[in-house]
Structure formats: structure tokens, C-alpha cells
Amino acid sequence: MSTDNVLRLLEHQQHRCALTGRRLTPQTAALDHIVPIRCGGEHVIENTQVLHKDVNRAKGSLTSEEFLAMCREVVRWSDSATERADHEG
């Protein structure tokens, strides 16, 4: 993976995080493996995306699908907890 390839990828993503759409700067961008190495993913540009560094840290070694499923679960639980609190109060 060359710097030029990573810069083209960033340009292709319009300087936005692939998972959240957050604006990326050189200080906030982090290269991520779509299919983690632990799952047999390769260290090639086709298996990478640029994420916001905070998103990449939260994603860890999960696949994008695993991470998004976990995020949906968090939102469902949080929404249901809010609804429960509204009904109790």
C-alpha cells in the first residue's frame, strides 16, 4: 500500500469517514482493514477504508458488519431505556 493509494482512497471517500461521514483531517484519519487481518483479510488497498480515528478505535478488530450491528444494538437498547424511563416518570 503506497501513500498515493491511500490519498486516492481518501479522495474517493471525499475526505469523510467511511462509516460515519465525519469530515477527516490528517490528524483525525485512520486507515482500517474492512476485513480484519484476524479474519483472513489482506493488507491491500482494496481491503482498506479510512475512518475517523475515534471510530477506528471503537471498531477495533471487528468487521464493519460486526461493528455496525453492535452500534445498532447500542442504539436499540439506549432508545428502549429512554422509553422505559419516560413511562416510569
In angstroms, the CA 59 to CA 5 distance is 23
CB atoms within 10 A of CB 56: 21
Q: How does pLDDT run across 36-55, given as a tens digit for each residue? A: 999 999 999 999 999 999 99
Which cell is 1 given?
Answer: 500500500
**Centroid of chain to Cα 88:** 35
Name the pTM for this structure. 0.82
Sorted by where each begins, the domain ranges of the chain are 3-88
**What DSSP line would sit under 35-74, residue for residue?**
S-GGGT--SSGGGEEEEEHHHHHHHTTS-HHHHHHHHHHH
Cα dihedral across residues 22, 23, 24, 25: positive or negative:
negative
Q: Does domain 3-88 have CATH number 1.10.30?
A: yes
Q: Give the pLDDT band (50/70/90) at residue 88.
A: confident
